[in-house]
Structure 1
C-alpha cells in the first residue's frame, strides 16, 4: 500500500515511518523540514518538505491508499495563533486535500487530552465526551480536531476514518525534543539524572498512563491495513502513581497539594520561566484512565512495552542524549 505520513519526522511520525516501512508499505514522508537522507530510487521512504498550513497538499496525496496525519506543533504555547494554524487549520487542509483526491483511508492522531476531565479512576472507553481536559491550548485544539473529524466523516461517508487517542507517548529518540518542548533548552539534562533526585515531590492524586511510540506505530499499521473505523484508545499496561514514580526514580516521594504545583507553574509561566502553563498541569491531573479493550479486540493490538517502560525510555533518553536523524529529534 502507498501510505502518506504527514508529520513523519516527529515523535509519532518517526515511529509510524519505521513500522510502516517494516510492514512493507510504500511510504511517503511529509514534514516541514525534510531529513538529510538519500533520495535515490532504493530509499525506503520518499521525502517531501511541506507546511500543512500553507502549502498545496493535493499533489502529495495523489495515488495514496491511506494518509496518516500526525503533524502537530506544541510550541510556542504563548502564541496560540501559530499553533492554531498548524494544528487546526492544517488538519482541515489535510482532510480537504484527502477528500479532493479521493484518499480512501484517513488515520489521524488525537490524544487522551481531547477527552473531557474526570474525577475518578474508572477506565473509560471511546464513548467518553471529547471536550478537552482543560482550557490549555493543546487540549482545546485536540478537542476542536475531534469536531473537524466528525464533520469530515459526515461529509465523506465513503472514506474510512480512524482516530487514535493515545496516552502520553514516549520513546528514547524523542526524549531530547520533549525536554526542549516542556522544560526548555536552558534546563540542563543533569537535573533529570535519578541519582540527583533523593526526594521526589508528587502532586496528591497524580496518576497517568504512558505508551511507547513503537506501540503506537504498530497500532497505526493495523489501522491502515484492517477494515476498521472510529476512535481507539492506546495505553501501555499499568497506571503510574506515587509508588511507581518513586520506584522509577529510585527516590523517596513526598506528597504535595496539587494547587501548590498549579500556582507555582502559573507564576513561572507568567514570569516567562516555564514553557507550559498551569492549565496543562490541570489537564494532567484530570485526564481519564483509558481502556484499550477496543484496540485489542479490533486492531489485534497488544502493547509490547508497559507504561513504566515508556517513561523509562524518556528519562534515559534525556540523560543519555537520545536522538535521531529526524530534524525535530536532533540532539
Structure 2
C-alpha cells in the first residue's frame, strides 16, 4: 500500500517514517512538509517528497488542490501537522491545526483515499481531577484556557462531522501523550522552554531544588519510536476510532527528581507558578505560555488498553526512560536532519556537499585552547609559517560577528513571517546561515584562534536594538518590514560571500580545504536568489491597500 504522511519532518513525523519503513505492508511513502529535510539522510531518504502548505499561508482552494493531487493513488493518509509556535500568532496556529486538518481530510475524500489517520492529542480531553485512568470515551472538550487544547478539541469536532459525512472512509484518531525522543531534544527546548533556559548546565551537576506546582501530580509520555509503531499498526489494521497512546508508567514528581539526579522537590501554589510562567512568557524568557500549565494539571490520565487490544500495540519504552533520553539530549543539544529537529549548537556545523575535517591534515586543534575566553592556543599546525595570525584572527572574528548579527535577523524573520507564502524560503536560508556560523566557529577553533565573544555580544545587542523601528506601525506589523528585512539580509549575504571568497583564495595558506569555500560561495549565491524571491513577494504588496502581505494568499496573489 501507499501511505502519505503530512507533517513528516517533526518529532512525530520522523518517528512515523521510521516505523513505516519497517512495515512490510507499506510499499511506498509520500512525505509532505512545508520545509524539506536532508533527503539524503534516514528516515527521509526512502520517501517521495512534496512541499505543501496545508493552510498556514495559502487559501483553502490552493491547499486542497495541492493535497488532492498529491493524494492520487494513496491508500492511507496520516495527518501529523500541527503548530505551537509562534505563540503570538493565534490565528496562524488555528489555521494550521483546525483548518489544516479540514483541508487534508477533504482532499483525501476527493482523492478517493480510503483511510485517514489523524494525530489528535491528550490535550483534546476535558478536565479530570479524579486520577483514575480514562479510556477514549472521556469527553474531548479541551481545556478552555489552553489555546492548543481548544484547537485540538475543535479538531475532534471536525473529525466527528467528517466521519458522519464520509462513512466510506475509515477514520482513526491517535491521541498521544507527550512525545519524547533524543532527536527532538533541541526542538522541544526551543518550542517550550526557549533558548534562555540553560539546560546544558545540567551537565555540570544536579539542580539543588526542583520547584513544581502543587496540582501537577502525574505526567504521561510516550517515546516517539513507540508512537511510530502505533501509527504503523493503525495503517495495517485499519481500525477505526480513537486510541490513547502512552507508556505504561506515569511520571511523578519523585520520578522526575530522580531522573534529574536527586533534586529536592519544592511544591509551590499552582496559581503562583502560573503567574510566574505568564510573566516569563510575556518577557520572552520562556517560550510556552500559562495555558500549557493549565493543560498539564487538568488533563486525565489515559488508559492505553484499547491500543493494545485492537492495534496489537505494546510500548517498548517507559515514560521514565523516554524523559531520561530527552533530558540527556537537551544537555547535549541533540537534533536530527530536518529544520524542526535541528541540533542546538556546534553539532549542526555541516554544509551540504562538504564534510569534516576541514583542515588538510585531518587534525583539529579544537579542545587544545579555550578560544572563547581568549586564551592563546596552537596556531593551525598545517598553516603556512608566513601567515599573519593576528590579521587572520581579526578577519575571522569580524565575519563571526557579522554571522551572529545576520543569524539573529534571519531567525527573527523566520518567526515574524511564518504566516506568509515565503516562510519556507526564509526558513531554509536561516537553516543554512545557522550551519555556516557553526562552521565558522569550527574553523576558528581548529586554527587555535580567539573568537572574541564580546564582539558577537555587541553584534547581538546591535541587531536587537535595530529592531526598534516603527515603520509607521505601533501594534500591527508593517508590510514594509519584510521589504526592508529582505534588503538587509541580501546585503549581509553579499558581505558573507566576500568572506568565503577571501577564505577560498587563502585556504592553502591556512591549511584549509579550498573546496569547502567554493561550495559556500555557491550557497551564498543561492541564498541571494532566494532572498530575491522574498523581496519580490514583499515589494509587490507592501505599498498597496488591496493586497495583504500576511495571512492566506491565493495563487494569483502569491
Structure 2 counterpart of 1:234, from 245, 256, 268:
245
Counterpart in 2 of 1:224? 235
Correspondence list, 1:266-305, <5 A: 266-305=278-317
C-alpha distance in structure 2 between counterparts of 1:291 and 1:189, whole Å: 32
Correspondence list, 1:19-30, <5 A: 19-24=19-24, 25=26, 26-30=28-32
Question: Is the 1:117–1:134 Cα contact (8 Å) retained in structure 2?
Answer: no
C-alpha distance in structure 1 between counterparts of 2:281 and 2:209, whole Å: 24
Structure 1 counterpart of 2:339, from 318, 327, 330:
327
Question: Is the 1:209–1:239 Cα contact (8 Å) retained in structure 2?
Answer: yes
Secondary structure of 1:328's counterpart equals coil
Secondary structure of 2:134's counterpart equals coil
Counterpart in 2 of 1:255? 267
Tell me by how many angstroms 1:38 deviates: 4.2
Q: Deviations over 1:70-127 (max 9, x none)?
A: 0011101111011112111111100110010110000000110100011121000000
Tell me by how many angstroms 1:128 deviates: 0.5
Tell me by how many angstroms 1:164 deviates: 0.5
C-alpha distance in structure 1 between counterparts of 2:202 and 2:231, whole Å: 31
Q: Deviations over 1:112-155 (max 9, x none)?
A: 01000111210000000001124211101100100111111001
Question: Is the 1:192–1:318 Cα contact (8 Å) retained in structure 2?
Answer: no
Counterpart in 2 of 1:150? 160
Counterpart in 1 of 2:213? 203
Tell me by how many angstroms 1:36 deviates: 2.5
The answer to which structure has the higher strand fraction is 1
Cα-Cα RMSD = 1.6
Tell me by how many angstroms 1:35 deviates: 1.4
* Structure 2: 5+ residue stretches without partners: 344-558
* Structure 1: 5+ residue stretches without partners: none
Counterpart in 2 of 1:120? 130
Q: Deviations over 1:162-202 (max 9, x none)?
A: 00111111110001001000111233332454724121112
Structure 1 counterpart of 2:49, from 47, 50, 54:
47
Tell me by how many angstroms 1:268 deviates: 1.9
Tell me by how many angstroms 1:330 deviates: 1.0
Question: Is the 2:197–2:286 Cα contact (8 Å) retained in structure 1?
Answer: no
Tell me by how many angstroms 1:306 deviates: 0.6
TM norm structure 1: 0.96
Counterpart in 1 of 2:143? 133
Counterpart in 1 of 2:491? none
C-alpha distance in structure 2 between counterparts of 1:127 and 1:192, whole Å: 40
Counterpart in 2 of 1:318? 330
Tell me by how many angstroms 1:227 deviates: 3.2
The reply on whether 1:10 has 2:10 as its aligned counterpart is yes
Question: Is the 1:209–1:289 Cα contact (8 Å) retained in structure 2?
Answer: yes
Tell me by how many angstroms 1:215 deviates: 0.4
Q: Deviations over 1:27-74 (max 9, x none)?
A: 1100011113249xx952111111111332111111001000000111
Larger Rg: 2
> More relative contact order in 1 or in 2 (CA 8 Å, sep 6+)?
1
The answer to which structure has the higher helix fraction is 2
TM norm structure 2: 0.57
Counterpart in 1 of 2:99? 89
Counterpart in 2 of 1:57? 67
